[in-house]
Structure 1
Amino acid sequence: MDLRGLKLAIYGDSLSTGTHGEGGYEEKLKGSLCLSEIYNFAVGSSSLSKGSAGCMADLLEEGRLPEEADIILIWHGSNDWYWSVPLGTMDDKKPDTFNGAISFVIDRLRMNFPKAIIIWVTPIFRMEKPDGIETAGDAFRTLNKNGSTLLDYTETIQRASLIHGFPLIDMRRLSGIHLYNSDYYLEDGVHPNRNGYELIHRILDAELRKSIF
């Protein structure tokens, strides 16, 4: 089974730019799913929310949209932790908090592509110190300047998927990347290497097939 003829748009950070792991996952995914087109709007070091260069909220405000899209893949959240973006509340609508940015991007994308399937990929393990913090650690356990862990951002995405009604690819659980195998899957404790992207591609391929059919 393939997704022949469908067009995919990607929004994310450096994990989706293709600059790591000998090309990332984009071309692998296009080939295995037989997609007709991929529009990649990923920006390295960017967050979903306002506050970082090339953040997704800014891209959408600037009209950085694909010509057409059947599937829209969002892989954001990790750098919102890194840059200490405030979590906010589920009632937020403005993209200066993480909750507000989720509402903003989902609404903006649905307004422009009402028939597209929007799928969110959850953050993976990263061993790093967030901006302004002196000690590196497992991001899912390490507090940023606002006192939030990457787990807090991931749980926010999970709650938002229920409120807004979009599917998730639980890359954290499905990839199984952790401290003791990170040297095999990650270049530097953060970015996947070739092995990591082969794993990520297999997961994305399988999960996208489930979501579309």
Structure 2
Amino acid sequence: MKKTLNSILLLFLSFSFPIFSQSPQDMVALRASYNYGKSVAVFGGSVSVIPASDTAKSLWEQQLGITITNYGVPGAGFSSLQGKSMQQQVDEAGVFDIYILWASTNDYTNKRAVGSYTDYTEFDNYDAEKLTTQAGGINYCIKKIYEINPKAVIYFFTSSKAFNDRGAYDPFVADGMVEHVNLQKKICELHGIPYLDQFTLGGYNVYNKELYYTDPIHMNEAGYQRLGELQVAFLAFPD
């Protein structure tokens, strides 16, 4: 029930603070956010780092006064088998106020094992063999961030929909990307980490993908403008 209410609140906020209006009332409310003016590190794949993604991140900077350091690398996933993994990215990070784990589609697209929410946790005595799974990679990143900065605030952006195959956007396809997304959320709930369900709330579908995507996986500037407004609402009031 709490997650449902949070989703409703998030949608309300995304319409209550239209980024393009910048009314004085909206700006006062955004500046009242606990996260206003904070330093942020971002980890992810190409969706977090391609030039078009700057459209979204510039909204964070403009509306929330956030300073961004981006560690994202195209092709990266949470699995240790997937490119310059987010595990490696986190290993290179320093101390920031906020750490954002921005999930890509790469673990799904490259068929990396989803794993169990207990992979690489106290429940399996931090079994390093589980670092090849998406779950193990997520748990590694969370543990490592707290080792770097015990006072860290961590937020999670789930994978967004893609259109390279039906499973990448249809939540009812067995073994589709929603399986990866659901596990992402499950791990966040285990550790008490707020998450933005971009897969569900992004609003992208087969009817509007031509407006918002440059290819089956990557959004254009219009797509990131839409996503960035949602992200600002979340970052302003994540609870």
Shorter-chain TM band? 0.7 to 0.9
Q: In the aligned structure 2, how far is the partner of 1:138 from the partner of 1:178? A: 13
Cα pair 1:16 1:26 within 8 Å, conserved: no
Larger % of helix: which? 2
Q: 1:194 aligns with which of 221, 226, 232?
A: 221
Match of 1:132 in 2: none
Match in the other structure for 1:84: 111
- Tell me which amino acid in the other structure corresponds to 1:9: A
1:73-101 CA-partner distances (Å, limit 9, x unpaired): 11115211011111222222132111111
- Choose from 143, 149, 153 the match for 1:113: 149
Matches within 5 A, 1:6-155: 6-20=38-52, 23-35=54-66, 37-60=67-90, 63-66=91-94, 68-93=95-120, 94=128, 95-128=131-164, 136-141=165-170, 148-155=175-182
After superposition, the CA RMSD in angstroms is 2.2
Match of 1:127, SS?
Answer: coil
Contact 1:77/1:153 (CA < 8 Å) preserved in 2?
Answer: no
Structure 1 segments unaligned to the other structure (5+ residues): 129-135
Q: Report the CA distance between 1:150 and its aligned residue.
A: 0.5
CA contact (8 A) 1:18 1:26 kept: no
Q: 2:199 aligns with which of 167, 172, 177?
A: 172
Which amino acid in structure 2 is aligned with residue 84 of structure 1? K
Instruction: Report the AA paired with residue 50 of structure 1.
Output: S
**Matched position secondary structure for 1:101:** helix
| 1:183 counterpart = 2:210 | yes
Question: Which AA in structure 1 matches 2:83?
Answer: A
TM-score by length of 1: 0.85
Structure 1 residue ranges (4+ consecutive) displaced by more than 3 angstroms after TM superposition: none
How far apart, CA to CA, are the structure 1 residues paired with 2:152 and 2:104? 21
* Contact kept in structure 1, 2:76 and 2:86, CA below 8 Å: yes
C-alpha separation in 1, matches of 2:117 and 2:227? 29
Structure 2: distance between partners of 1:199 and 1:72: 22
- The answer on whether the counterparts of 1:86 and 1:97 sit within 8 Å (CA) in structure 2 is yes
* 3-state SS, counterpart of residue 53 of structure 1: coil
Find the aligned partners of 1:199 and 1:64 in 2 and give their Cα distance. 30
Task: Name the residue aligned to 2:37.
Answer: 5
Q: Name the stretch that deviates more: 169-178 or 88-97.
A: 88-97
Q: Secondary structure at the match of 1:39?
A: strand
State the one-letter code of the partner of 2:62.
Answer: G
Query: How many residue pairs align between the two structures?
Result: 198
Deviation digits for residues 14-41 of structure 1 (CA, Å, limit 9, x no counterpart) = 11113236x3422232122112x21100
- Asked if the contact 1:9/1:69 (under 8 Å) is kept, the reply is yes
* In 2, Cα distance between equivalents of 1:52 and 1:190: 16
CA distance in 2, matches of 1:127, 1:209: 30
Q: Say which SS state the counterpart of residue 176 (structure 1) adopts.
A: coil
SS of 1:29's equivalent in the other structure is: helix
